[in-house]
Amino acid sequence: MRRYWLVALFALSCVPTPTKVVPSAPRYFSSLAYDQAAARHQKIGAEKFKRRDLSYVLSLLSYGITSFYGLNLEEARKAFWAAYKVDAGERPEAAKLYDWLVVDSRTVYKLKKRERELVHLYLGLCYLLQDDLEDALVEFKKLRQFDQEASKLPIVNFYMGLIYEKQGKFDDALIEFRPLEEMLGVTGLVRSVELLRDSGLVPAPDSVELVVQVDHQTAGSVGKTEVYIDNRGPVATLPEVSDSFAVRLSAAEASRKAAQEAAAKVARTGLRILGGLLLEQAMPGIGEDIADGIADITLGKEEENRDFRAWGYAPLNFAFARLRIPAASQTVRLVFYNQAGDMIGYCDYSLAGDSSLCPLSAGGGCGQSGGDFAASDSVPNDAGRRNKKLRAKYAVGTYFIIAGLAEEFYVY
């Protein structure tokens, strides 16, 4: 009997324990959402202002760009404009609440040259998407005033050429498009403007213009982008990068920066030596330390003057394309890849409807009678965000899709 029970216990101990099945994580995202990120940065900005955080301007930029991607253009424009004014030290005389932002210019965050020029780029895009060609052009011209080398930034040439073409200033448009075609190795932009200027040839009414721009904000998002129209495609493929917005210091700016750093080092050393000699006589043993402290307070510690803060959402690079699609098109799908060629996700954009976020019906997309793409096989973790389709923005006779790629925006 004892042997029987031992055998039974041994058999029971060999029965495998049931394993819990954990659903695998989705391999790629199926939409992009910016509203939660915008709300988060709006809250962070308010908190930073309240506690007088000296990097407040960075929160303005983050709120501005997430609002921009979500097509909340008025809020985006206000945020970018405020960041520009704060960085320039300009404020209304009555705005005494902002005094703390100019009291200590050594520690208040100052935008880097690239960040400052990106502010004007996005301000220009805000105005462009609000059908304001004149103010959009003003912002792009400001960018070039800050940096003469901006004429070699393809994305600036592209949008300035587009604006001039919309205004009927064809010769100015050609001045922008000719170097753009050389920089990117593309064709068609110059020819279309020449035909429009010389023969009045306009595109057929059965097609509409679409501009697609992809902002790669992380290294993992850098890769080609395929463009699909309804069930057809890809009708176009954006390269990994059209412009990295590589803003460089001019020779004069580099010399001025080096001179300022050298002068600050000499001043700091001189103040410490002179103060040390004088104070050491008055207070032997502690005079030199006090002199060092005074120098740090007056000129800042050398380590503190190395500012490692930065605008985290500033795109690493841009990819963009201009194409014509059938006027009856309903949905544009962008499919994103990484540099290894692996798909990282996709996002659908409706060309119909009035709201910037268009809830999907059971049968298909906004303004459609049926589904245009197969349903995603990913596992949703946020049904409310996933069941929203972004909408292309229609302005100045063109559809615009501008996608920002950062992991915070991915919806699985």
Where does residue 195 rank: exposed (0-12), middle (13-18), buried (19+ CB within 10 A)?
A: middle
Which tens digits make up the pLDDT trace of 330-369? 999 999 999 999 999 999 999 975 444 433 333 333 333 3
CA distance 267 to 36: 47
128 contacts: CB under 8 Å, gap ≥ 6: 136, 159, 163, 395, 396, 400
pTM of the shown model? 0.75
Q: Which of 373, 365, 378 is nearest to 412 (CA)?
A: 378
Q: Which residue has the higher pLDDT, 283 or 135?
A: 135
Please, where are the H alpha helices in 168-250?
A: 170-184, 189-199
The pLDDT mean for the chain works out to 78
Candidate from 37-51, 128-142, 307-321 with smallest mean pLDDT = 307-321
- If residue 399 lies in a helix (H) or strand (E), which one and from where to where? strand 398-405
Task: Name the most confidently modeled range: 84-88, 103-107, 152-156, 331-335.
Answer: 331-335
- pLDDT tens figures, 279-313: 556 666 665 665 565 555 444 444 444 445 678 89
